[in-house]
Amino acid sequence: MKLTLGQAAKHAGRAKGTLSKALNNGQITGEKDGKGRWQIDPSELQRWIEANPLPNTTENQDTTPLETPENTNGNSALEVEVKMLREQMAEMRSMNERERQTLVDQIESLHGQIERQSADHRQALAALTDQRERTAEQPKRGLWARLVG
């Protein structure tokens, strides 16, 4: 995970202008993204920090403090990445919930449509059944057929 110029300045304890000059002079290698913003590798930043200590540090100082910013940079970069991934997961969950709700609504709509069609079919069947009963009735017999038969 690369650092922006502001993040790198914060981790190095330096001004953004100082890092910008170092980038433009080639003391720090970095890339510009599609929007023209610097992207700096944490290990490259650490190399530059070690090569350019702050004026108030002495050469007799233990190397442990120099290692701490690297761990902080690495951890910070990981924390940023974890945060971004959590945001992406939350966004995906909300998108999945919206899709699920859309599908539930579609299913309910289809159930309603099936019920209406089923009711229409029952009415049509009842109408057909009624017509068959009327046609199946015996025709009325005349007076002579009733007397004789």
What pLDDT band is residue 64 in, cutting at 50, 70 and 90? very low
Look up residue 62 and give its two tokens.
Answer: 């233990």
User: Span 51-55, mean pLDDT?
Assistant: 82
CA dist 48 and 72 (Å) reads: 15
41/48 Cα distance (integer angstroms): 11
Task: Return the sign of the alpha-carbon dihedral for residues 52, 57, 63, 68.
Answer: negative
Tokens 């599609």 label which residue? 34
Instruction: Please give the model's pTM, rounded to 2 decimal places.
Output: 0.37
Lowest mean pLDDT among 14-28, 34-48, 130-144: 130-144
- Sequence-distant (≥ 6) Cβ neighbours of residue 49 within 8 angstroms: 12, 66, 69
Per-residue pLDDT tens digits for 78-112: 888 899 999 999 999 999 999 999 999 999 999 99
Query: Is pLDDT at 49 greater than 60 in this prediction?
Result: yes
Among the listed ranges 10-19, 36-45, 53-62, 84-93, which one has the minimum average pLDDT value?
A: 53-62
Q: Between vectors from CA 77 to CA 76 and to CA 78, what angle results, nearest 5°? A: 90
